[in-house]
Every structure is written in C-alpha cells, then in structure tokens.
Chains A and B, each alone.
Chain A
Amino acid sequence: MEKKITLTIDGREILAKPGQTILECATSMGIFIPTLCHYENTTNVGACRVCVVEVEKARSLVASCCMPISPGMVVRTNTPAVRAAQKMIVELLWSSGDHNCLTCEQNGQCELQNLVYWLKIDKPRFNIEPPGFAPDDSNTMIHRDLNKCVLCGRCIRACNEIQVNEVLDFSMRGSHAKVGPAFDENYINSSCVFCGECLQVCPTGAITYKQAKFAGRPWELNKVRTTCTYCGVGCQMDLFIKDNQIVKVMGNRDYGPPNEGSLCVKGRFGMDFISHPDRLKKPLIRRNKNEELQEATWDEAYTFIADKLSAVKKAYGPDCIAGLASARCTNEENYLFQKFLRAAIGTNNVDHCARL
C-alpha cells in the first residue's frame, strides 16, 4: 500500500493518497471548488484559473486542478483573496463575450451563468466587448457561436483525448485566440465526424445541439435513459423529451459502461426518424394480390392473418410457414416471436438477419 499523507483543507485535516491534486482531494472531502476548464479524464491544463485556492507559504494563489497535494500542506478555498480572484476572472470572461442568456440555449445549465450567480456578481466591472465572430451555422447538428466561448479548451481536449478525432485546436493566441477545426474552417468542411463530444463538454452556450434550439428549456425536458438502437456497442444515453418529441440526445458519464458518456453521430443525431411523418400508423391489408394496400383495424388484420396462416398450415403443414425475427427488436420481442412460430405454428423456420 502506498503511504498516505496528511494535509489540511479549510481547517479540516485529511489523510490522502499522494498523487492527487488539491481539487481531487477537496472534492473527495465534499468541499466545492468551482472550475470551468477542468474535465475529468482529460489533461488538467489550469487554463481558466477559476479553481484558485490559497496555499500557505505559496507566493500567490494556485490553480487547484494542477497542484499536487504534499505532506503538511494547508489549503484554504474560501478566503476573500480567492473570491476576489475568481470574481475578476469571471467578470473578464463575461465582459469579453456575448453572454445574452435571454436567447441562449444553455440558459439554466450554463456553467458560466452558474458561476456568476454563485459568486454573486451583479454586473461586470468592465465594458462588455464581444469579439463579433460570425456563428458557424454550417450544419443542422452542431451550432457554434464563439462569442460565447470562454477558451476553456474542454472541447479541444474532448475531441483529441476522449474521442481522438483530432479535429479541434486553438488557432491564434492571446486576445485573438479561437477554438475550432484546422484553418478556422466551419464544422461541415472540416474532418469533424459529428460525435458531439465537444457540445457535451462545453460549459457555455458556445457549442450547442442545433436541433434543440427553441425546442424546450432544460427544465421543461423529461429525461429518459435508454440504450442506443443502432450498432452493437449498446451505448447508454439520455433522451430529452418534450411534447412527445425527442429534443436532443446526450451521453451521461454517470452511466459507466459500455460508453462512459460518449456517443457517435448516429446515436446523438440520428434519432429524428422516430417522429418522422412517414411512420406507419394503421394496419394495412392487401386483400387481393393485384390491389393496393388499404387501411384496416387491428382486429381485421389479425383475423385476416390468422385465417390465412391456419389455412396454409392445414393444407401444407406448419413447415410451410416461416418467420424472420429482428436484430433491432428487443429480447422480449424476439423471444415471443420464436415462441410464436415454434409453439403456436409448430415450425422451427425462424431466423433473423444477423447473419448479414
């Protein structure tokens, strides 16, 4: 076993595993340190410095996400100096962007908005000077408005370190710094594969789910956890529902395997088929081979099928009937389907398209 070390955070002594950062250690003690750029399972970059704390004997405030704990360390997370620094940072971020919550999709779940509130800032002490970037409206999946970007770099780390798609990076530096695909391209002309990891990690309204815009406020949406209907990975996902429509699909890191919160383009942006007007709504019957399919009631459909199946079975035996089950249906449905053919019809002629 590794030797533990003792340190003090906000007057509480703790025995902790070495190698942790101050932020991790404080979080494990239930002490809240605000962050913006920090994102679990990606590199700690200490870019936003919202997580600053006071460390006794240190010359200045330190970014808790990057500072490893050491024996005898005395940390304070809530001194006036810490709060003043945090306010300064947040006011700078606020004033250097176009943070109009009235029209922002992220309103109510924005981490910048939450920070402003938590730090009790009425208005920034600086003049608001948004950079005036044109929004990236190039596609129907991801909307990007860099006027709301706080340059936390989460999207870059998500794209490179979580999804390893290597699309996003910083371009330019300093006050002209910008995040985005190479050569400042918009998404649709880049090598982006629309996994949407970047929009999932963005703390502000800079990268958002385009189709969710004006489709419902966060608090109006009903969240239902389910399993993706596409490939065999079986990603766990949250469907956000309003008025019997899927507004958006998000991964959720709390759900663990198999996808730990990540999705691909099909799972995240491929679900609108479910509310498509082409959906079948009534049973259809073709009573004679050369006629068209016509709407019918369920009872008519059941009777039509049962009569025909019984006649075929009687005339030719059960092995003249076959069924194809579906790799897209649930276990329960596949189970009943083969039970129906085997027990109700009496044949083992059942297969599915999994061979394909």
Chain B
Amino acid sequence: MAGLAATFGSGAMTNSIDELEYTDLILATGTNTTENHPVIGMKIKRAVKQQGTKLIVIDPREIDLVKYAEIWLRQKPGTDVAVFNGLMNVIISEGLYAKKYVEERTEGFDALKTTVEKYTPEYVEKISGVPAEDLQKAARMYAKANRASIIYAMGITQHISGTDNVKSTANLSMLCGNVGIEGGGVNPLRGQNNVQGACDMGALPNVYPAYQQVSNEDSRKKFETAWGATLSSKPGMTLMEIMAASGSGAIKALYIMGENPMLSDPDLHHVKKELQNLDLLIVQDIFLTETAQIADVVLPVTGFAEKDGTFTNTERRVQRVRKALEPPGEAKTDWEVICGLAGKMGYPMQYSSAQQIFEEITSVTPSYAGITYRRIEKEGLQWPCPTHEHKGTKFLHKDRFSRGLGLFTAIEFMPPNELPDKEYPFLLSTGRVLYHYHTGTMTTRAQGPSERCPESLVEINPADAEKLGISDGQLVKVTSRRGTLEAKSRITTKSAPGSIFMNFHFTQAPVNILTNPALDPTGKIPEYKVCAVKLEAA
C-alpha cells in the first residue's frame, strides 16, 4: 500500500476487476488467485481460455494458475526485487520500454536505469533461480503487450522487502506505459472483504478518512471542526508497534474490534505475553476467539448478515451490506457499541442508522462525496466519486498520476531476514487455502468448507519427503527458532524442493507460532512468506 502510494499517489488497485477479462496480458505475482480471490481467478482463466489473453505467473509455488500460464517464473521466495529488476534490465537494454510515456509522465528513470543495469538475466538467475532465458522471454512478452495488467497479493507484500516489491511492480508497469490505461495497471488484490474500506475510513495511524494526513494542519482543523474535538497531530502506532508497546507497558489499554491477532500475528507466543501485559484488553467480536479468551471485556456484536452498512471491495467499489437476520441474544452492531462507549466517555456520538453515519462519512471524505445509499442500491460505485453526478472511476491515473508524475524508485535486492541454514534447512511460507478464510473463526464453523478441508496440512515437495522418509498424510513436526507444531503432511509438487507451505486458518496448528516478526520498515508488514524451519516426522 505504502509502496503504491509513494509511486503513484494512491495505494489502491488502479484498475477494475472486469478489465482483467479483456486485456492482452496479465502478470500475476504473489497471488494464488484461484484460491484467495476465486471469482477473479475465474475471470483470469476465462481471459486466457476464451479471449486469448497471455498470462505470466511469477510465484515460488506451483499454484493452479500455472496451468494457464504461458510462462511461469519460479523464483526463490523473497527474491522478487531481483526478478523485477531483471525484467526491466532486459526491457531497457533491448529498448522495449515506452519511451514517450516515461519521458512525459514519470520521473526517476535515470536512477532506475543505472540500478537495474547490473541485474542481467544471468545475475538474476544466480539470485533467484529463474533461468535467464525464461526471464528474457517474459520481459519481451510483457513489454510487447499493448495493455498489460499486473496483479499481486500478499505473496508480494508479506516480506521485509514488501514495500520494495510493490514499488518494483509499479516500476515495471510504468516502464511499459501501462498505468492509466484501461486493461493495465498495478492491482493489489485485497485479502479481506473490507481492507480497502478500513483504509479509506482512516483506520490507520497517520491518516484521517480519504488519506488526509493527521500531521497536516489543514486536515486536522477540518476534522476538529467536523468532530467538535481537539485532535492529536502526532501520527499513532502501527499494529506491530502497538503489540510491542503493549508488551513493554507503553500501551496500557487496547480496544480490538473484530480481529484475532492471537492467530494472525507472527510469533504467537510473544503476542500472547504482550496482550496479557495490558491493564485493559477489550475485544468486540462474534465469537470467543483466541484473543477474546484472554480479554478483560468481551462485547458481543452482529455478523455481516445482521447489519446494514457498506463494504468497499478491492477495486474501490462501495457496495451495500444489508440486514437479513436478527442477531443472537443481546449482540449489538459494532457502531452501536462504539456510540454506547463514547457516550460513557463523555463524547456523545449519536446516530439512528448506518445510513446516517455514511452521510457523515461522505461529508468529510472527498473521494466518497458523491456516493449515497440510493445511488448504490442496485450497483456499487467506484471511488473517486466526488459529486452526485459523477459516475465513479473505473481506472486511476488517466493522463495524470495522483501525485503528478509517476515516480520510479531504484531498488536494490535485499535477501529475506531469515534464510534456511544447517539447523533450519527448510523455507516456510504461509498463506490461505480456498476453503478457509483468515483465522478460520468463520469458515471452520461452516460445515461444507470444513468437510472439504478439515485441517492444516504441511505441503512438502516429493523429493524432500522421500529424503526425510515422510509419507503423505503422516504427522510431521515443524520447528522454527520461535516455536514448534505438528500437522499432517501433504506431498505435492506445489511446493518447490526446500520449501514448505502451511495455512494459518487453524487453532490446532497455529502456524504463526513459527513465523518471523521481522517487519518491512515502511509497510510494517511481517515477513510471513519466508522463515527458516526444520522438518521431521513426528
């Protein structure tokens, strides 16, 4: 997010989902789309099979999309920057880049050019394991496509070099003039239903709604007036900083709405200690999650089908959520609870409906200003939608980037924080599977998906399994410097030799007791995609 914002001036998906079906080339990297965004995966497969769209996959795992790809670059996990620099090296040295576009719409090209010079296909092959020839083929194919879209997900962001990875995708896209056109762009696929909306609404430590900086005096004044309160100009702490500060005692009280860091955060043993150190932990959720179990106060709230409101999807489309059910027991909507608390704290917040809150949102959020519940009754609108007449925005940065000129960033490759060694010879990546979602609070309580996928499996390459004498379905023990767990094995070529994969959906095998909390310095995202482990039969 931070990466795209710095490059273009906006961190959102530049283009729309349906454009993927009608473009010339899709480059998918760090996204297991058919499992994590199945309906987008479906459109990509349709594009390839029915529209003749070319697909390049850059991913260490042999994901389902590989079957549909014209070229698959299987890089070693954490070497994305090198691969992207390599692609650009070929494109620049062969003169295949969009010279006019680069000249007119971007800045920083010379520095980029100098940096990528040393990333020759041969050099990149040494770092990433991607054959030089394949890299060249992919580079030429991408550069020669009229319109090419890059899509990525957490396989790109969950590294200590996550922000650099994102900037690299943006570099490549701009280099070939693909940003600001239909069917092009750089498109982060959001993992959770309302990540985009939570960001848009200012659930971030440094910005108010619509990314208005808390440190900017004009913005602050505007919100002080709108909210009738004095506001702090000091940017707050990020999630991982909050966790650390809870452990050190700098944070005394933590209010968690609908999240379960006890299963989702890296290095879980540590997280538990940090949370238990708080004077007050408030958890508001629909279930007694792992985090709620250690809270001081647990507040029961409504699920998505029991309330009205809006979600903003990954393509910036603001869509209605509607109440279909009465909530159980005394559960209230999250917003009613917040208002109840605010009243007790001496700051009355009174609303009669979600719609009334939305009206307040649109009055302080310029990109949402033109949206009303009535306008999105039948079909959601994509922000920016500044006026009631505006039809919403299908793709961003047409003619001009939000920040003016698009900014190339020269980036050097940096290896992952923790690499396999003698003691911990395997590389562990984590992620999701089709049948489950996030920390599994919801899907492990759904009968169908659980029947199809009842437990966490450790995906191991057949060669490794043979060496270790592990058979399919056997219980194995996985140990990192931070913890150990047991789960059944799944022998599959999806995992490259030397790499294993696990999902983080299950309490029974909480993979995040193993993962490395090392953070990307800008994005503050932990390195879930690479840590060193050892593997043995249990």
Contact = CB atoms under 8 A, between A and B. Distances in A.
Nearest to B46: A164
B329 A305 contact: no
B205 A348 contact: yes
B330 A282 contact: yes
A27 interface: no
B330 A269 contact: no
B280 to A, nearest CB: 5
Nearest to A351: B239
Contacts of A57: none
Contact of A326 (B246, B258, B309, B361): B258
A352 B309 CA distance: 18
A321 B341 CA distance: 14
A259 interface: yes
B525 to A, nearest CB: 5
Interface string A276-302: 101111111110010001000010011
Interface string A200-211: 000000000001
Contact of A343 (B36, B227, B328): B227
A347 interface: yes
A276 B445 contact: yes
Interface stretch (A109-117, A127-135, A173-181, A238-246): A238-246
7 contacts: A257-B380, A265-B435, A272-B447, A274-B305, A279-B286, A305-B341, A356-B526
Nearest to A346: B232
B127 interface: no
Contact of B300 (A257, A281, A333, A343): A281
A350 interface: yes
Contacts of B343: 302
Interface in A235-273: 235-236, 239, 241, 244-246, 255-259, 262-266, 269-273
B400 interface: no
A283 B343 CA distance: 18
B315 A273 contact: no
A162 interface: yes
B189 A270 contact: no
Which of B154, B197, B285 lies at the interface centre, i.e. has the most chain A CB atoms within 10 A of its CB? Answer: B197
Interface stretch (A1-9, A80-88, A149-157, A219-227): A219-227
B353 to A, nearest CB: 9
Which of A235, A246, A258, A265 lies at the interface centre, i.e. has the most chain B CB atoms within 10 A of its CB? Answer: A258
B193 A334 contact: no
Interface stretch (A45-53, A90-98, A99-107, A187-195): A187-195
A322 B255 contact: yes
Majority secondary structure, A binding face: mixed
B330 A298 contact: yes
A161 B46 CA distance: 7
B311 interface: yes
Given A257-B17, A334-B198, A336-B349, A308 B280 contact: yes
Interface stretch (B93-101, B317-325, B409-417): B317-325
Contact of B259 (A235, A265, A324): A324
A354 interface: yes
A316 B254 contact: no
B349 A340 contact: yes
Nearest to B13: A232
B309 to A, nearest CB: 3
A120 interface: no
B190 interface: yes
B304 A280 contact: no
B315 A258 contact: yes
Contacts of B228: 343
Nearest to B45: A164
Contact of B304 (A226, A303, A310): A226
Given A227-B311, A234-B314, A234-B317, A274 B39 contact: no
Q: Which 8 A-B pairs have CB atoms at the shortest separation, nearest pair first?
A: A281-B329, A234-B313, A330-B309, A232-B190, A348-B236, A326-B258, A264-B38, A280-B300
A355 interface: yes
Contacts of B231: 342-343, 346
A231 interface: yes
Contacts of B282: 305
B445 A227 contact: no
A319 interface: yes
B201 A140 contact: no
Given A139-B451, A231-B192, A349-B237, A354 B199 contact: yes
A303 B338 CA distance: 13
Contact of A322 (B42, B189, B236): B236
B386 interface: no
Nearest to B293: A293
A339 interface: yes
Nearest to A288: B296
A281 B288 CA distance: 10
Given A316-B252, A351-B204, A282 B300 contact: yes
B18 interface: yes
Nearest to A236: B319
A279 B300 contact: yes
Contacts of B193: 227-232, 234, 327-328
A17 to B, nearest CB: 21
